[in-house]
Amino acid sequence: MGALPVFRWRLAPDGYATRRQLRARGLRPGGQPVVAQLERPRRRRPPLVAYLYRVDLAKPVRPMTPARWAALAKANRARRICPQCRAEAVYVIPPSLGACVPCSFPDPSRAVRSA
């Protein structure tokens, strides 16, 4: 990537906005490349950098359609299904555990003991 124009914090030219500023206006970068960056100097640390996009190239945030809500619900549900016991937990299965809590931490008092 070539060198981007760098502007000082709060001195961004009109027509440019950070991703967060676009979002506040219901916009998204929409695939455009970063066109400039803002730098905020900090003492004894590297400057804070924010990337700027062109407002005129930004696109409206895609509205949620029933199909997108359904896809989202399906994805969230899949993340609650324990891969070991196939039960649906009321929480998202933590990736660090990889299974629901009863599977990850079997209760020894309820364990079936074979004689």
| Cα gap 34→54, rounded to integer Å | 8
Pick 15 or 98: Cβ nearer Zn ion? 98
Residues 23-82 that bind Zn ion (CB under 5 A): 82
Cβ–Cβ under 8 Å, residues 93 and 80: yes
Positive or negative: CA dihedral 88, 92, 94, 95: positive
Q: How far is the CB of 100 from Zn ion (least distance, A)?
A: 3
Q: How many residues bind Zn ion (CB under 5 A)?
A: 6
Binding flag, residue 85, Zn ion (CB under 5 A)? yes
Chain position carrying tokens 């950098």: 49
Residues in contact with Zn ion by CB under 5 A are 82, 84-85, 99-100, 103
